[in-house]
Structure 1
Amino acid sequence: MTTRRALALVRVRGRSMLPTYRDGDVLLVLRGGRPRPGRAHVVDLPPDPAGRPRPLAVKRVTGRDPGDPARWWVDADNPAEGVTSFDVGGLPDEAIRAVVLGLVWRGLG
């Protein structure tokens, strides 16, 4: 499956990426870009334990999953908040939706 590369704007919700990004920040992202370890990305997390879908999230891709190098390990910048690969395991390539290119507008949150 080929993903078309395109620029997009996304709004951060929540506090899992503090202090880097905060609730309400607007980010410029590149959809369809290859994962870049060390950079923040928009990711599709698996459903919660009750089977409910989670919203897209901004997470830091730290590298390949040490237990399964075909998957990506994601983390939050705020160790006190957010879902990470410690909670859901590594993510497949198709769950990495976009790479964050930078902050466009600082939110009020």
Structure 2
Amino acid sequence: MTVERADPPARLRRWLTAVGVTGPSMAPTLRHGDAVLVRRGGRSVRPGDVVVAVFRTRPELLVVKRAVRRQDGGWWVRGDNALVTDDSRAYGVADVLGRVVCRYWPRPGRLPRGPL
């Protein structure tokens, strides 16, 4: 799931920010058109969390992925949809900007931990 952006840090300066999801990489957990709330700060990111991140090799792109493991001072992130490889397998380590805490549109609810 990616969200085009001009300046990611400016986009997520508030502690709670709404982000729109595009693309199929996080299906079935998140679908194209879902809207999620992203929290900066709070508890630290853990493996299995859904996060908003920026790949070091693609700094112009804001992505929604699942944190897999810490690596090289950042995170290895993957989408839940194994058929889509626009994640760390293609772009390497990402820097996490915030943790997705819930989906609020169109199907409100908390997100499951770990891939389905």
TM-score by length of 1: 0.74
Task: Point out which structure has higher relative CO (alpha carbons under 8 A, 6+ apart).
Answer: 1
**Counterpart contact for 1:46–1:54, Cα < 8 Å:** no
Quote the sequence identity (%).
Answer: 40
Q: Cα RMSD (Å) of the superposition? A: 2.3
**Counterpart contact for 1:30–1:99, Cα < 8 Å:** yes
Q: What is the aligned residue count?
A: 95
Question: Does residue 1:14 correspond to 2:23, yes or no?
Answer: yes
From 59, 64, 80, give the equivalent of 2:65.
Answer: 59
TM-score by length of 2: 0.70
Which stretches of structure 1, 4 residues or longer, exceed 3 Å deviation after superposition?
none
1:15-69 CA-to-partner distances (Å, cap 9, x unmatched) read: 1000000001010110245322211001112345xxxx5421101001113xx3x
What are the equivalent positions in structure 2 for 1:24-35 lying under 5 Å apart? 24-33=33-42, 34-35=44-45
**Counterpart contact for 1:75–1:85, Cα < 8 Å:** yes
